[in-house]
């Protein structure tokens, strides 16, 4: 399928000399790529002050602990694999341990993905397809509905996967075993960023087998390359397992990433999952209807384009497995659909390229032949300007409120600042709620590894044991500050939840702590009250209370 084609800027080498005028002109496409990159950087850097949301807070805090010499699953309990924690450690180590540093790192990751998609689209079809793929990805990954402006783990899955796909095609084209193995390493890295990344590795292996069989290679030849590729995928995970075994916390790693993770994915029923999918998918399609429409035309392209038909196994197979990667757990959170965006962007690029070739084959010249590219560019520029104008026209606080409601993401900045200014680096704190970004902002370690309340409120058999473990850890450490987050979305309490820890908190806090801060979160604006200027009960049902241990109180 990818037998040595030999491309120069999307044109066969037999028809294109590097010194020719045609190839010289084709290099102007790099100018368009730079325009896409600079436009994306301009918007993303304007959003650099956006407060972290929960997942970002978790990753940033875990990355902060790694830089201090602590390890996930020992100091932070969660089901995610450690790749994203290590990636965050690198980002905040380079760009600074702030929310600005996190979002600067995200901009770099996003730009790298845009550039790689250009090369992948060009390798699949031509330069026009590559440009359109990178531009549509830039637009869709900035769509507020997809939450691509936050540094969620999906961004860190996509980047190595796109790199792995490029190497996979190159390795098959040139039959380079080391390239195929390296491609597997990148897919394995994607899995370490999030378990959902395993679906991309499955697609790549299937495509490798189909490609070798279509090239009439022998079964042993195909098996050798498949095994080599699978070995590359397995190496990163195997090394992680060996590492945690060597430091004595493999049991914790296995419990959180396998035992508990399997319970978590079984929480949502098929009926509820279908309803969440319908609602989320409808919102995403409404946000960029024309972009998704052109990607949909790309799905139909093999019916009317020979070029698209030749690449259909890759483009449509990738789209299928990208969609499957969104499904595990049936939660269908909006940022999960970022995993679908690269394949949709490639289909967008293929649709434009195939349509232009079709018109050229019909002897349509001049503006008529350029119509697909011009129309698609208008759609992308319009969508980009709309989303950019909408987001850049709001303050970080307003944008956070618009996207996240009364979730206390802006307030976490102030709570973290207060704790940092009134404690020493060795002091511990405990956040009774699911706001790990407070630990990150304050630069103070948690008194417990339970940084989310959600696992403790779920219906599995581990919930009550988890609550008891958390309370025991807090009682042993005796944190200087307790932060209680009275916000519905920070808990996820439902009819079957165990609430023993709430009764414990009331008694424990009143015995050992006194209030030093109340944050009243309201639609019309948050009110902050710090000791000694505290007031009565909050007006809103959504609030945060900060308590200081009585023996340490000096405020």
Strands 481-486 and 428-432, by their bridges, are parallel
Residue ranges of the chain with pLDDT lower than 70?
A: 1-26, 363-367, 552-555
CA–CA separation, 26 and 465 (whole Å): 63
**DSSP letter at 3?**
-
Cβ burial of 395 (10 Å; 0-12, 13-18, 19+) is: exposed
> Which element (helix H / strand E) includes 520?
strand 513-520
CA–CA separation, 187 and 232 (whole Å): 8
Tokens 């392209």 identify what position? 301
Strands 481-486 and 543-549, by their bridges, are antiparallel
User: Whose CA is closest to 65, among 48, 82, 44?
Assistant: 82
For residue 426, count other CB atoms closer than 10 A to its CB: 8
169 within a domain of the structure (yes/no): yes
Last residue of a domain, one of 365, 392, 419: 392
User: Whose CA is closest to 84, among 329, 315, 335, 334?
Assistant: 335
| pLDDT the model gives residue 18 | 43
The count of structural domains within the chain is 2
CA–CA separation, 479 and 492 (whole Å): 25
pTM of the model: 0.92
State whether 126 and 253 are in the same domain. yes
Six-digit token pair at 332? 């269908």
State whether 350 and 482 are in the same domain. no
State whether 146 and 273 are in the same domain. yes
Last residue of a domain, one of 392, 414, 439: 392
CA–CA separation, 320 and 100 (whole Å): 35
CA–CA separation, 144 and 403 (whole Å): 7
CA–CA separation, 246 and 255 (whole Å): 16
State whether 159 and 260 are in the same domain. yes
User: Whose CA is closest to 490, among 433, 412, 431?
Assistant: 433
- E-strand spans in 37-110? none
Tokens 């699949």 identify what position? 124
CA–CA separation, 170 and 166 (whole Å): 6
Taken in order 89, 90, 95, 99, the sign of the CA dihedral is negative
Write out the residue range of the structural domain in which residue 457 sits.
Answer: 405-552
State whether 370 and 415 are in the same domain. no
Q: For the CA atoms of 322, 323, 326, 332, what is the dihedral angle to 10 degrees?
A: 150
Question: Read out DSSP for 492-506?
Answer: ---TT---HHHHHHH
399 within a domain of the structure (yes/no): no
Cβ burial of 5 (10 Å; 0-12, 13-18, 19+) is: exposed
Q: Write the CA distances from 538 to 221, 404, 413, 528, 542, integer angstroms.
A: 70, 21, 19, 10, 8
State whether 334 and 426 are in the same domain. no
Question: Read out DSSP for 440-484?
Answer: HHHT-EESSS---SHHHHSSSTTHHHHHHHHHHHHHHH--SEEEE
User: Whose CA is closest to 333, among 448, 454, 461?
Assistant: 454
278 within a domain of the structure (yes/no): yes
Last residue of a domain, one of 392, 426, 448: 392
Taken in order 457, 460, 462, 464, the sign of the CA dihedral is positive
518 within a domain of the structure (yes/no): yes
3-state helix, strand, coil in the chain (%, to 5): 65, 5, 25
Alpha helices, H only, 301-366: 306-310, 312-326, 341-361
State whether 164 and 298 are in the same domain. yes
User: Whose CA is closest to 204, among 375, 361, 359, 343?
Assistant: 343
State whether 362 and 423 are in the same domain. no
Six-digit token pair at 271? 């009926």
CA–CA separation, 449 and 72 (whole Å): 9
> Which element (helix H / strand E) includes 548?
strand 543-549
State whether 296 and 246 are in the same domain. yes
111 within a domain of the structure (yes/no): yes
Under a CB-based contact definition with an 8 Å cutoff, are residues 417 and 440 in contact? no
Six-digit token pair at 166? 């490029």
58 within a domain of the structure (yes/no): yes
According to DSSP, the residues that pair with 486 across neighbouring strands are: 543
Six-digit token pair at 105? 């790192």
For residue 187, count other CB atoms closer than 10 A to its CB: 29
State whether 387 and 410 are in the same domain. no
Under a CB-based contact definition with an 8 Å cutoff, are residues 133 and 166 in contact? no
CA–CA separation, 424 and 107 (whole Å): 33
CA–CA separation, 91 and 186 (whole Å): 19
Cis peptide before 433 (omega within 30 of 0): no
317 within a domain of the structure (yes/no): yes
| pLDDT the model gives residue 390 | 87
| pLDDT the model gives residue 366 | 63
Q: Write the CA distances from 110 to 55, 96, 155, 305, 449, integer angstroms.
A: 17, 18, 7, 31, 31
1 within a domain of the structure (yes/no): no
Tokens 């060996």 identify what position? 242
Cβ burial of 489 (10 Å; 0-12, 13-18, 19+) is: middle
State whether 356 and 411 are in the same domain. no
Cβ burial of 192 (10 Å; 0-12, 13-18, 19+) is: buried
State whether 471 and 387 are in the same domain. no
């Amino acid at each position: 399928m990818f037998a040595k084609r030999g491309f120069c800027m999307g044109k066969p080498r037999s028809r294109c000399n590097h010194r020719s005028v045609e190839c010289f002109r084709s290099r102007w496409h790099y100018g368009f790529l730079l325009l896409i990159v600079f436009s994306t950087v301009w918007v993303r850097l304007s959003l650099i002050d956006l407060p972290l949301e929960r997942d970002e807070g978790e990753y940033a805090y875990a990355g902060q602990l790694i830089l201090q010499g602590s390890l996930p699953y020992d100091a932070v309990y969660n089901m995610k694999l450690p790749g994203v924690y290590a990636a965050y450690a690198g980002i905040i180590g380079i760009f600074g341990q702030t929310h600005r540093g996190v979002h600067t790192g995200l901009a770099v990751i996003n730009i790298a993905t845009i550039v790689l998609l250009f090369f992948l689209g060009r390798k699949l079809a031509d330069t026009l397809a590559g440009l359109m793929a990178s531009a549509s990805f830039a637009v869709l990954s900035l769509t507020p509905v997809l939450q691509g402006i936050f540094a969620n783990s999906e961004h860190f899955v996509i980047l190595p996967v796109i790199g792995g796909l490029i190497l996979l095609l190159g390795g098959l084209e040139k039959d380079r075993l080391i390239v195929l193995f390296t491609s597997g390493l990148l897919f394995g890295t994607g899995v370490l960023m999030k378990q959902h990344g395993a679906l991309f590795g499955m697609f790549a292996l299937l495509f490798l087998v189909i490609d070798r069989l279509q090239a009439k290679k022998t079964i042993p030849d195909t098996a050798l390359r498949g095994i080599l590729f699978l070995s590359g995928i397995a190496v990163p995970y195997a090394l992680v397992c060996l590492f945690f075994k060597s430091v004595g916390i493999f049991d914790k790693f296995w419990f959180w990433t396998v035992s508990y993770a399997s319970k978590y994915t079984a929480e949502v029923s098929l009926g509820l999952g279908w309803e969440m999918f319908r609602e989320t998918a409808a919102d995403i399609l409404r946000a960029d209807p024309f972009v998704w429409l052109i990607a949909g035309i790309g799905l139909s392209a093999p019916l009317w384009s020979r070029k698209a038909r030749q690449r259909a196994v890759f483009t449509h197979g990738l789209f299928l497995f990208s969609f499957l990667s969104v499904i595990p757990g049936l939660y269908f959170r909006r940022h999960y659909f970022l995993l679908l965006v690269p394949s949709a962007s490639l289909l967008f690029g293929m649709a434009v390229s195939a349509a232009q070739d079709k018109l050229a084959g019909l002897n349509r010249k001049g503006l008529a032949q350029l119509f697909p590219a011009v129309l698609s560019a208008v759609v992308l520029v319009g969508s980009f300007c709309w989303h950019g104008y909408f987001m850049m026209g709001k303050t970080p606080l307003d944008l956070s409120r618009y996207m996240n409601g009364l979730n206390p993401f802006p307030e976490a900045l102030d709570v973290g600042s207060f704790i940092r200014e009134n404690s020493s680096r060795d002091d511990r704190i405990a956040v009774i709620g699911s706001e790990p970004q407070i630990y990150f902002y304050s630069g103070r370690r948690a008194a417990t590894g339970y940084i989310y309340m959600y696992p403790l409120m779920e219906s599995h058999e581990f919930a009550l044991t988890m609550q008891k473990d958390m309370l025991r850890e807090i009682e042993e450490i005796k944190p200087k500050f307790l932060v209680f987050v009275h916000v519905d979305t920070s808990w996820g309490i439902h009819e079957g939840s165990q609430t023993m820890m709430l009764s414990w908190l009331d008694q424990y806090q009143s015995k050992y702590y006194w209030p030093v801060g109340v944050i009243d979160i309201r639609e019309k604006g948050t009110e902050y009250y710090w000791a000694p200027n505290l007031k009565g009960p909050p007006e809103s049902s959504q609030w945060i209370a900060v308590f200081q241990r009585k023996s340490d109180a000096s405020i």
